[in-house]
A and B are shown apart, each in its own frame.
Chain A
Amino acid sequence: MSSIIPKIFLLLSIFLYSTWVQAQTPAPPQQQPIAITGGTIHTVSHGVIENGTIVIENGKITAVGANVEIPAGAENIDARGKHIYPGLIHGRTTLGLTEISRIAESTDLTEDGNINPNIRAQVAFHPISEHIPVAAVNGVLTVVPTPTGSLIAGKPAAMMTDGWTWEQMTLREGVGMSINWPSLQNPSSYRQAIDELQQAFDDARRYKQAREAMKSGQGPNHNVDIRWEAMIPVLKGEMPVLVSAGDLRQIQAALAWTEKEGLNTVLVGDRDMDIVAEQLAAKNIPVILTGVIGGPNHQWQGYDEGYKTPLRLYEAGVTFCIAGDASAAYALRLPHHAASAVAFGLPEAEGLKSVTINAAKILGIDDLVGSIETGKDATIMITNGSPLQMWTEIDQVFIRGRKIDMTDKHNRLYEHYKEKHRQESL
Chain B
Amino acid sequence: MKRLHLFLVFTLLILHGAVFSQTARQFGLRQNTPQVFAFTNADIVTEPGRIQSNATLVIRDGIIEAIGRRVDIPADATVIDMTGKTIYPGFIDMFANYGLPQPEGEEHIHWNAQIRSHYSSAKNFRPDADKSSNLRSQGFVAVHTLPEHGLLSGYGSVTSLGEGEANHQIIRPDFTQALSFRRSMAMGRGYPTSGMGTVALVRQTMYDADWYAEAHNAFSANRTLQRPETNHALEALSLARQQSVPFVVEAENELWFLKAIEIADEFGLNIWVRGSGREYRRLDAIRQTGKPIILPINFPSAPNLATPEQSMNVSLEALRHWYLAPENPSKIAQAGLTMALTAHGSGDQFMKNLRTAVERGLKKEDALAALTTTPARLLGISDSYGSLSRGKVASFIIADGDIFEQQSNIEQVWIDGKKFQIKPLRDDARGKWLVQGGEGLGGAIVHIEGTTDRLRGTITLEEKSTRLIRVRMENNRLVLAFSADSLGLQGVYRMSANLAENELLGVGEGHQSNYFAWSANRTEPARAEQQRQRTPKSPLQLPTRYPSMEFGLASQPEQVRNVLIRNATIWTQGPEGIMENADMLVTNGKIAQLGYNIAAPRGAVIIDAAGRHVTPGLIDPHIHASIAAGVNETGDAITSETRITDVMDGDNVWIYRLLAGGITSATLFHGSANPIGGQNAVIKMRWGLLPDGLLIEDATPGLKMALGENVKRSMGRYPSSRQGTEQIIRDAFQAAVEYGEARERWTRNRSGIPVRRDLTLEPILEVIKGDRLAYVHAYRQDEMLMMLRVAEDFGFTVGTFEHGLEGYKIADELREHGAAAVVWSDWSAFKVESYDGILHNAKLLNDVGVLTTLHSDNTQLSTRMNWEAAKTMRTGVSEIDAMNFITLNPAKVMGIDHRTGSLEPGKDADFVIWNGHPMSTFSTPDQTWVDGRKYFDRDEDMVLREQVKQERALLISRILEEQQAAMRNDQE
Write out, one digit per residue, whether chain A residues 98-133 have a CB within 8 A of any chain B CB (1) or not (0): 011111000000000000000000000000001100
- Asked if B924 contacts A300 (CB within 8 A), the reply is no
- B709 to chain A: closest CB distance in Å? 9
- Some 10 contacts from A to B, beta carbons below 8 A apart, are A130-B829, A299-B317, A302-B945, A343-B921, A343-B923, A388-B922, A389-B870, A390-B874, A417-B811, A426-B848
Most chain A CB inside 10 Å of its own CB: which residue of B549, B863, B921: B921
Residues of A within 8 A of B309 (CB): 247-249
Write out, one digit per residue, whether chain B residues 659-689 have a CB within 8 A of any chain A CB (1) or not (0): 0110000000000000000000000000000
Q: Is B885 an interface residue (CB 8 A)?
A: no
- B863 to chain A: closest CB distance in Å? 7
Q: Is B832 an interface residue (CB 8 A)?
A: yes
The verdict on A390 contacting B871 (CB below 8 Å), with A414-B840, A421-B848 known, is yes
Closest to B871 in A: A390
Residues of B within 8 A of A332 (CB): 826
The verdict on A100 contacting B835 (CB below 8 Å), with A295-B860, A390-B921 known, is yes
Q: B residues 299-325 with Cβ under 8 Å of A?
A: 309, 312-313, 315-317
- A278 to chain B: closest CB distance in Å? 15
Q: Is A330 an interface residue (CB 8 A)?
A: yes
- From A297, A303, A342, A344, give the contact of B657 (CB < 8 A): A303
Q: Is B844 an interface residue (CB 8 A)?
A: yes
How far apart are the CA atoms of A413 and B841 in the complex, in Å?
Answer: 10
Stretch in A1-9, A253-261, A333-341, A366-374 touching the partner = A333-341
Residues of A within 8 A of B831 (CB): 100, 102
The verdict on A333 contacting B921 (CB below 8 Å), with A391-B870, A391-B873 known, is no
Write out, one digit per residue, whether chain A residues 291-305 have a CB within 8 A of any chain B CB (1) or not (0): 001110111101110
Q: Which 5 A-B pairs have the closest CB atoms?
A: A329-B829, A414-B840, A391-B873, A299-B315, A390-B870
- Asked if A102 contacts B832 (CB within 8 A), the reply is yes
- Asked if A393 contacts B874 (CB within 8 A), the reply is yes
Closest to B319 in A: A300
The verdict on A299 contacting B316 (CB below 8 Å), with A388-B921, A390-B874 known, is yes
- Asked if A336 contacts B921 (CB within 8 A), the reply is yes
Q: Is A410 an interface residue (CB 8 A)?
A: yes
Q: Is A327 an interface residue (CB 8 A)?
A: yes
* New contact pairs (8) apart from A100-B832, A414-B843, CB-CB < 8 Å: A130-B829, A247-B309, A299-B317, A299-B653, A300-B315, A343-B924, A348-B922, A414-B844
- Asked if A330 contacts B550 (CB within 8 A), the reply is no
Closest to B916 in A: A343
Q: Is B759 an interface residue (CB 8 A)?
A: no
The verdict on A339 contacting B660 (CB below 8 Å), with A392-B874, A418-B844, A421-B811 known, is no
- A116 to chain B: closest CB distance in Å? 26
- Asked if A102 contacts B815 (CB within 8 A), the reply is no
Closest to B318 in A: A299
How far apart are the CA atoms of A338 and B316 in the complex, in Å?
Answer: 31
The verdict on A343 contacting B922 (CB below 8 Å), with A248-B309, A302-B945 known, is yes
- Asked if B809 contacts A299 (CB within 8 A), the reply is no
Q: Is B252 an interface residue (CB 8 A)?
A: no
- Asked if A390 contacts B838 (CB within 8 A), the reply is no
- From A249, A333, A420, give the contact of B826 (CB < 8 A): A333
Residues of B within 8 A of A361 (CB): none
Residues of B within 8 A of A295 (CB): 654, 657, 859-860, 863
- A365 to chain B: closest CB distance in Å? 27
- Asked if B844 contacts A99 (CB within 8 A), the reply is no
- B314 to chain A: closest CB distance in Å? 8
Residues of B within 8 A of A294 (CB): 860
- Asked if B838 contacts A414 (CB within 8 A), the reply is yes
Number of interface residues of A (CB under 8 A): 50
Residues of A within 8 A of B835 (CB): 100
Main secondary structure of the interface of A (DSSP, over half): loop
How far apart are the CA atoms of A389 and B874 in the complex, in Å?
Answer: 10
Residues of B within 8 A of A426 (CB): 811-812, 815, 848-849
- Asked if A339 contacts B830 (CB within 8 A), the reply is no
- A292 to chain B: closest CB distance in Å? 11
Q: Is A209 an interface residue (CB 8 A)?
A: no
- B214 to chain A: closest CB distance in Å? 50
Residues of B within 8 A of A333 (CB): 826
Residues of B within 8 A of A44 (CB): none
Residues of A within 8 A of B911 (CB): none
Q: Is B747 an interface residue (CB 8 A)?
A: no
Closest to A335 in B: B921
- Asked if B921 contacts A340 (CB within 8 A), the reply is yes
How far apart are the CA atoms of A248 and B849 in the complex, in Å?
Answer: 51
- A169 to chain B: closest CB distance in Å? 20
Residues of B within 8 A of A414 (CB): 808, 838-840, 843-844, 875
Measured as residues with beta carbon below 8 angstroms from the partner, the interface class of chain B is 35 or more
Q: Is A312 an interface residue (CB 8 A)?
A: no
How far apart are the CA atoms of A426 and B812 in the complex, in Å?
Answer: 7
Closest to A294 in B: B860
- Asked if B948 contacts A300 (CB within 8 A), the reply is yes
Q: Is A411 an interface residue (CB 8 A)?
A: yes
Closest to A393 in B: B874
Q: Is A409 an interface residue (CB 8 A)?
A: yes
- Asked if A413 contacts B808 (CB within 8 A), the reply is yes
Q: Is B937 an interface residue (CB 8 A)?
A: no
Q: Is A328 an interface residue (CB 8 A)?
A: yes
- A322 to chain B: closest CB distance in Å? 14
- A387 to chain B: closest CB distance in Å? 10
The verdict on A417 contacting B808 (CB below 8 Å), with A131-B829, A300-B550, A329-B828 known, is yes
How far apart are the CA atoms of A329 and B828 in the complex, in Å?
Answer: 7
- Asked if A421 contacts B844 (CB within 8 A), the reply is yes
Residues of B within 8 A of A302 (CB): 941, 945
- Asked if A303 contacts B661 (CB within 8 A), the reply is yes
Closest to B924 in A: A343
Q: Is B836 an interface residue (CB 8 A)?
A: yes
Q: B residues 784-828 with Cβ under 8 Å of A?
A: 808-809, 811-812, 815, 826, 828
Q: Is B952 an interface residue (CB 8 A)?
A: yes
How far apart are the CA atoms of A327 and B656 in the complex, in Å?
Answer: 29
- From B549, B812, B830, B923, give the contact of A327 (CB < 8 A): B830
Residues of A within 8 A of B840 (CB): 410-411, 413-414
Residues of A within 8 A of B808 (CB): 413-414, 417
Closest to A348 in B: B922
The verdict on A299 contacting B312 (CB below 8 Å), with A293-B864, A409-B838 known, is no
The verdict on A390 contacting B317 (CB below 8 Å), with A336-B921, A343-B923 known, is no
Residues of B within 8 A of A420 (CB): 809, 812
Residues of A within 8 A of B922 (CB): 339, 342-343, 348, 388-389
How far apart are the CA atoms of A249 and B309 in the complex, in Å?
Answer: 8
Residues of B within 8 A of A392 (CB): 874
How far apart are the CA atoms of A333 and B313 in the complex, in Å?
Answer: 30
Closest to A131 in B: B829
Q: A residues 372-414 with Cβ under 8 Å of B?
A: 388-393, 409-411, 413-414
Residues of A within 8 A of B941 (CB): 302-303
Closest to B868 in A: A390
How far apart are the CA atoms of A327 and B831 in the complex, in Å?
Answer: 12
How far apart are the CA atoms of A390 and B920 in the complex, in Å?
Answer: 7
Q: Is B155 an interface residue (CB 8 A)?
A: no
Residues of A within 8 A of B341 (CB): none
- B806 to chain A: closest CB distance in Å? 9
How far apart are the CA atoms of A324 and B344 in the complex, in Å?
Answer: 50
Closest to A415 in B: B840
- B120 to chain A: closest CB distance in Å? 46
- B937 to chain A: closest CB distance in Å? 12
Residues of B within 8 A of A409 (CB): 836, 838
Residues of A within 8 A of B871 (CB): 390-391
- Asked if B867 contacts A336 (CB within 8 A), the reply is yes
Residues of A within 8 A of B847 (CB): 421
Residues of B within 8 A of A410 (CB): 838-840
Q: Is B919 an interface residue (CB 8 A)?
A: yes
- Asked if B843 contacts A300 (CB within 8 A), the reply is no
- Asked if B844 contacts A417 (CB within 8 A), the reply is yes
Q: B residues 638-670 with Cβ under 8 Å of A?
A: 653-654, 656-657, 660-661
